[in-house]
Amino acid sequence: MKPPLFSYIRPGTLKEAVEAIAATNETDEEVRILAGGQSLIPLLNFRLAYPTVLVDLNIVDELSLISTQDDWLVLGSMVRLRDAELSEEVIDACPLLIAALRHVGHLQIRNRGTIGGSIAHADPAAELPALVLCLGAQIVAVSTRGQRVIEAPDIFLGPFTTTLAADEMVTEIRFPKTTSSKTAFVEFSRRHGDFAIAGVGVAVAFEQDGKTVHEARFGALGVGSTPVRLTGAEEAIQGKELTDSIIKESAEIASLEVEPLDDIHADAEYRRELLANLVWRSLREVGA
């Protein structure tokens, strides 16, 4: 298993990167952006992808910054997953992200894999895309045509497919701070570190009384052709206290509002039941 032939370019700055991507697009090349490579290189090894040009972003330092701006945690697209996991700023601003990152592959994968790469790869069974929906993150993309901000509901189109244009690249992901919410992330996989069969992240903001749900957001993975926001399950708990019966109702609605696919790991019916169980567990955790 060796990658197919391609040519390689390694821009030193964001401007050079954007120009390199634009130039290759004009010549009908099939360009792929090499971020951490933890999904792309396996795809090349299996010959499931045949790009003609790889644009390697690994020395574009300006894409590796972590900062907070007002109510947002801003992660550069080339921030390594492991660096985010260990970052005090991320721990303070968005503990849900930390909880999810611990489930992404293994240490060796997280040492290379990047935040932007994971989101642009758009694996429906991956953790970060589900959190984009759960938290309502914003994706900042640039091309030679300019910059645009893509809102969470507008980014994922299908398995491994996003609304990013061929000449666009992700520069930043902005996650809302979750300091005023209670959050939980739960998933189930056969072995720790494997892609999960299903999982869910939840962020719940409570009213002043600390019991009544003011707003809830769920982002689920492994239960459809994209990550899915569970709006039905959210509505079921809005304005209510998290009693056992309300949690059960929300979990049941979650299992009915998704369209899971059958695959070798689990059939659709199993995934529905699993999701109900995971929603139940996540709400027990935030309600505890």
Binding-residue pattern over the window 138 to 177 for another protein, x denoting contact by CB under 8 A: ----------------------------------------
Look-up of token digits 């939980």:
184
H/E segment holding residue 32? strand 31-34
Q: What is the largest CA-CA distance in the chain?
A: 61
| CB of residue 34 to another protein, shortest distance in Å | 8
CB 6 within 8 A of CB 51: yes
Cβ closer to another protein: 44 or 213? 44
Helix (H) / strand (E) containing 67: strand 66-69
Tell me the closest approach of the beta carbon of residue 111 to another protein, in angstroms.
5
Counting contacts by CB under 8 A, is residue 264 touching another protein? no
Q: Which of 22, 98, 109, 246 binds another protein (CB under 8 A)?
A: 109
Contact 286/183 with Cβ under 8 angstroms?
A: yes
Q: Which stretch binds another protein (CB under 8 A): 4-12, 87-95, 178-186, 228-236?
A: 4-12
- Of the ranges 102-110, 202-210, 260-268, 278-286, which one interacts with another protein (CB under 8 A)? 102-110
274, containing H or E segment: helix 268-287
Is residue 38 a contact residue for another protein (CB under 8 A)? yes
| Contact status: 22 vs another protein (CB under 8 A) | no
Distance CA 155, CA 73 (A): 19
Residue 3 or 232: the one with the smaller Cβ distance to another protein is: 3
**To the nearest whole angstrom, how small is the minimum distance from the Cβ of residue 219 to another protein?**
25
32, 64, 99, 105: which one binds another protein (CB under 8 A): 105
> Count of alpha carbons within 13 Å of 211, Cβ hemisphere only?
4
Q: What's the rounded Cα separation, in Å, for the pair 47 and 104?
A: 24
E strand segments, 160-281: 161-162, 169-176, 182-188, 198-206, 213-221, 228-229
- Does residue number 54 form part of the binding site for another protein (CB under 8 A)? yes
Footprint of another protein (CB under 8 A)? 1-13, 16, 24, 34, 37-38, 41-42, 44-46, 53-54, 56, 58-59, 82, 105-109, 111-112, 191-193
